Amino acid sequence: MKVRILLIIFFFFHSYFVNSGIDIPAGFGVPFDKGMYGYADRYNSEKASEDENWQLAKQLYKTYIIDNLEFVEQPRIPKIIHQIWVGPHPFPNKCKVLQKTWKKHHPDWKYKLWTDADVKELDLINEAAYEKAKNYGQKSDILRYEILYKYGGLYVDTDFECFRAFDIFHHCLDFYTGIAGLSNKGAFGLINALIGCAPGHPIIKACIETMNISDKPHSSWIFNIMHTTGPAHLVRCFLKEALHGERSVAFPCGYFYPWPHHHKRQNRRHQILKWKRPETFAIHHWHCSWIHRRSIYDGQDIFDLLFEKFYQNTV
């Protein structure tokens, strides 16, 4: 009897999405810990139970994806894809190839590649910070927050490959991003390379309002970028605003970051695709065009350094 009731509920729930024009993709709603596959050896259950950040992300995922996946006919998040390319260098061919994957899977969505010419037309809230920023990665960080705050939609770095449509995220959530993985120290963190949100979202508002690009020299230019505008800045704002009534979710790494950065040298096509999971919607190719060769410290993975320094004690 219980099995019969569960089957009825399942088919009703599934039909609801299908009739609304949105099917539940295969793999969507995988258990949080399973979606963080491959990191169990770095982040055991004891550590996870003690980490408030981990538990917050897990609870939000459970609430809005597992227990209460709520579809609305009118998208909560506009169906527009934003990408940014600023600076003196031309848009690379390898990025053009990846760009096509987003257009292929979203033929009915709007698409916008923001360039230096477009920036001149934007009324930037943090215009002074944008002008002060020396690195184009930092400028891109500032722009993505401003664009998302004003227009909403999906921002994605130009080194992301898309495998399937993102419609379900836009009909069910107000904000989403992804967990990129863990460092050797066990700290986990978000990366601002892929963010979807409604216009005026509180998390993005906090990213804009609390940004502080100081002239004070930092221990490292790259840590300064990550801390003031990049992933560490997003982590702080997410932790501050995620519980304020908006449907905000940080997805496990299997969705957007299944290919770990420390395996980036294994970059042949078959090597990359072996990381693809049932829940994978996109893969980050880790071009890191804004990071110079001098940012490698004694052979240690730069993202391990970043996680260790900024993703712990971020509250």
CA 159 to chain centre: 13
186: closest CA among 59, 53, 35? Answer: 53
Residue 54, domain member (yes or no)? yes
Residue 16, domain member (yes or no)? no
Residue 48's φ and ψ, nearest 5 degrees, are: -60, -40
Residue 315, domain member (yes or no)? no
Give 160-184 pLDDT, tens digit per residue.
Answer: 999 999 999 999 999 999 998 765 4
Please give the model's pTM, rounded to 2 decimal places. 0.82
| Mean predicted confidence (pLDDT) in 17-28 | 69
Q: How many structural domains comprise the chain?
A: 1
Give 82-121 pLDDT, tens digit per residue.
Answer: 999 998 889 999 999 999 999 999 999 999 999 999 998 8
**Residues of the domain holding 298:** 43-310
Q: How far apart are the first and last CA of the chain?
A: 47
Residue 205, domain member (yes or no)? yes
CATH code of the domain in which 47 resides: 3.90.550
Residue 302, domain member (yes or no)? yes
**CB-hemisphere CA count at 13 Å for 243?**
9
Residue 166, domain member (yes or no)? yes
Give 255-280 pLDDT, tens digit per residue.
Answer: 999 876 655 555 566 677 777 889 99
CB within 8 Å of 129: residues ≥ 6 apart: 142, 211, 213, 229
| Distance from C-alpha of 122 to C-alpha of 131, rounded to nearest angstrom | 13
Residue 22, domain member (yes or no)? no
Given a cut of 50, whether residue 122 has pLDDT beyond it is yes
Given a cut of 60, whether residue 302 has pLDDT beyond it is no
Residue 35, domain member (yes or no)? no
89: closest CA among 124, 127, 145, 140? Answer: 140
Structure tokens at 130: 């944008």
| Distance from C-alpha of 122 to C-alpha of 186, rounded to nearest angstrom | 40
Burial of 279 by CB count in 10 Å (0-12 exposed, 13-18 middle, 19+ buried)? Answer: buried
Specify the pLDDT at position 305.
Answer: 45
Percent over 90 (pLDDT), the chain: 44
Q: Among 68-82, 110-124, 168-182, 279-293, where is mean pLDDT lowest?
A: 279-293
Residue 277 and residue 202 in contact, taking contact as beta carbons nearer than 8 Å? no
